[in-house]
């Protein structure tokens, strides 16, 4: 008599997948270099991929020596292209001669989805948090006013810093109600500081966040913060749509 029990014993092949085959992507020579399928948002030459948030016109931040520097009087800038889910790499520099303290020390923000003018959207904080005390859910690496970074991975002012971000956009039902919230994973200078964090809604300076209004694909925005400290700079920005 056939041993049915033996015949049905699990095999390692049962949990091995061979399709679909992932597409081949050529990685950069370093973690910072853009892979072959990336959309380069800033390569050090111009701001052709960006517009001014104020009037949807030309982005007027300074570009010099492969770097773009915030022009606070010109306001925020955001990408011409809109995104849903993505992987993002961006490098930023707090000036070595930075002054001020707390939130007035190199303040800017990376809005992972810009959903309106000004400072509306979902903000990953940019700030000098190297020996600079402030509220922990407002320091560099925080999802602003929502969560503290797992660790402080800041480098000193005058040294380039990097964010590598995996962004999962919120999904809304046809009636505008929330189906699934936004999630984000952030590596700060190669160190995980946010691990698949679930956002409670867009960033609010005052009050608790909530998903009050449905939206779709959105631009990525960089903030020209109104503090009086020296403006920060950016370089090597690229994104991969997921």
The structural domains of the chain, with segments of one domain joined by +, span 41-241
Q: For the chain, what is the mean pLDDT?
A: 90
CATH topology of domain 41-241: Jelly Rolls (2.60.120)
What pLDDT, on a 0 to 100 scale, did the predictor assign at position 131?
87
Q: What is d(CA 105, CA 41) in angstroms, rounded to the nearest whole number?
A: 26
Q: What is d(CA 196, CA 168) in angstroms, rounded to the nearest whole number?
A: 9
Judge whether residue 5 has pLDDT over 60: no
Q: What percent of the chain shows pLDDT beyond 90? A: 69
Q: Which secondary structure element, helix H or strand E, spans residue 196, and what is its range?
A: strand 191-198
Reported confidence tier of residue 54, pLDDT bands at 50, 70, 90: confident
Strand, coil or helix: 39? strand
CB contact at 8 A, 128 and 154: yes
The structure's pTM equals 0.90
Q: Which residue has the tokens 């030309």?
A: 58
């Amino acid at each position: 008599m056939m041993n049915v029990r033996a015949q049905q014993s699990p095999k390692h092949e049962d949990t091995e997948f061979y399709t679909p085959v992932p597409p081949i992507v050529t990685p950069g020579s370093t973690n910072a270099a853009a892979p072959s399928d990336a959309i380069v948002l800033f390569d050090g030459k111009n701001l052709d991929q960006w517009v001014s948030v104020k009037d949807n016109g030309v982005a007027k931040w300074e570009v010099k020596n492969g770097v773009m520097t915030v022009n606070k009087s010109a306001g925020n800038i955001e990408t011409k292209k809109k995104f849903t889910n993505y992987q993002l790499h961006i490098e930023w520099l707090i000036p070595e001669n930075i002054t001020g303290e707390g939130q007035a020390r190199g303040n800017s923000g990376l809005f992972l989805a810009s959903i309106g003018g000004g400072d509306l959207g979902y903000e990953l904080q940019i700030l000098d948090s190297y020996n600079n005390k402030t509220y922990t859910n407002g320091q560099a690496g925080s999802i602003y006013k929502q969560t503290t970074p797992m660790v402080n991975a800041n480098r000193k002012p005058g040294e380039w810093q990097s964010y590598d971000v995996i962004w999962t956009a919120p999904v809304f039902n046809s009636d505008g109600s929330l189906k699934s919230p936004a999630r984000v994973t952030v590596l700060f200078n190669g160190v995980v500081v946010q691990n698949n964090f679930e956002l409670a809604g867009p960033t609010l300076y005052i009050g608790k966040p909530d998903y009050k209004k449905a939206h779709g694909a959105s631009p990525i925005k960089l903030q020209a913060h109104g503090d009086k400290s020296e403006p920060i700079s950016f370089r090597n920005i690229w994104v991969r749509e997921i």
